[in-house]
Amino acid sequence: MSLPNGSIRTATTKSDQKGEMGLRKSGSDPHFLSLISPDPMLPGYRGRFAPSPSGPLHFGSLVAATASYLQALSNDGEWLLRIEDIDPPREIPGATELIISSLRAHAFQWVGPIHRQSTHLAEYHAIVEHLLATGLAYRCRCTRDEVRRTATAIGTTGPVYRGTCRDRGHAASAEMPDAVRLRTGNSTVEFNDILQGQISCQVAESIGDFIIRRKDGLIAYNLAVVIDDAREGITEVVRGCDLLDVTPAQIELQHTLELSEPTYMHVPVVINKHGQKLSKQTGAIPIDDQQPGKNLFSALQFLYQEPPNELINETPEMIWDWAQKHWRPQKLVAKQQSAYEFT
């Protein structure tokens, strides 16, 4: 049995949801939040850009940064920069510095210090241990092959784990490394993406108990991102559609940890002529910091903002000034990917 996209679906789209932007649910659990050390939270819109240092900034990541920056600017909000550097095997030495200098060359302005996930490892592990101690998570010793062979379905993000180790009560063991999985239930996660519309996901059918700490001891992306969005008081997450499929798992985790749920806006990803998402793996070339105006002009074109031609020779500051006044995210409704001939 396979359910490729069976239980995650996009329904209606909303053309303009400005009124809903920046809303947060109240009632965070002080128990879990006490394990995080939240930034001083100010009322109002807070967005972020969170690249991983797996390579320098390319056009696809510039597009995501541009969309999230313009959402923050047009909501009189704050925009934070977070480096997701908790996967050392995928990191390229020096990439963090290259990303930061590219963002500076393009006149992005973030608030406060740059957040580095690698400086928060103790907090992530404390949350994992707390989830284990309260029975909300458990240790799993299955191999990747066993998980694949016994999967109940092929879900939205891969094989759905059968729950083999759920009730085995594995204890920590130096000889037997284990992954830690979140114990999920029969819930349905629903959210209204600003561009992609109403999304509904049956957790048991299409995600299952997912990994929050890997067998190699590394913290899973889904856990770190949820904790950081809560710690930093992020009210709206703007990012590429390639992360739409993992959003239900992140919301499920927010519910388990009783954290507030940001709104989501998934913008189209840039694909190359072979239909692949631009990334370091697909050979995306780094953006040229010597022509920031041209790059931003192209990013705005990709985002259907129709910048006037004379803007192409302007400074990044002038382009941001125009873009902030003319930012119309509703032009991106229901678009999940698009090709762009970047010359």
Please report, as ranges, the residues that interact with Zn ion according to CB under 5 A: 140, 142, 164-165
Smallest distance from the beta carbon of 145 to Zn ion, in angstroms?
A: 12
- d(Cα 87, Cα 121) in Å, to the nearest integer? 11
C-beta of 208 vs 248, nearer to Zn ion = 208
Closest CB to Zn ion among 127 and 140?
A: 140
> Smallest distance, Å, CB 214 to Zn ion?
13
Cβ 340 vs Cβ 62: under 8 Å: no
Nearer to Zn ion by C-beta: 140 or 270? 140
9 or 144, CB closer to Zn ion? 144
Which is closer to Zn ion, CB of 160 or CB of 165?
Answer: 165
Distance in Å, CB of 305 to Zn ion, minimum = 47
Return d(Cα 333, Cα 13) in angstroms, integer: 7
Give min distance, CB of 157 to Zn ion, in A.
17
Contact 329, 194 (CB under 8 A): yes
Cα distance between residue 70 and residue 103, in whole Å: 14
Q: Residue type for 237, please?
A: V
Cβ nearer to Zn ion, comparing 179 with 224: 179
| Minimum separation from the CB atom of position 167 to Zn ion (A) | 11
Task: Collapse the DSSP code of 80 into the 3-class scheme (helix H, G, I; strand E, B; otherwise coil) and give the result.
Answer: strand
Least Å from the CB of residue 90 to Zn ion: 24
CB distance 80 to 103 below 8 Å: no
Shortest Å distance, C-beta 164 to Zn ion: 4
CA dist., res. 237 & res. 263, Å (int): 6
| Closest to Zn ion by CB, 8 or 140 | 140
How far apart, in whole angstroms, are the C-alpha atoms of residue 198 and residue 293? 35
Can you list the positions of beta strands (E) in 108-227? Answer: 115-116, 137-140, 154-155, 158-159, 179-182, 188-193, 197-202, 211-213
Closer residue to Zn ion in complex, CB, 47/208: 208
Q: To the nearest whole angstrom, how small is the minimum distance from the Cβ of residue 76 to Zn ion?
A: 48
Pairing assessment for the beta strands 197-202 and 188-193 based on DSSP bridges: antiparallel
Contact predicate 249/82, CB 8 Å: no
End-to-end CA distance of the chain: 44
Report the run of H or E that residue 46 belongs to, with start and end: strand 46-49
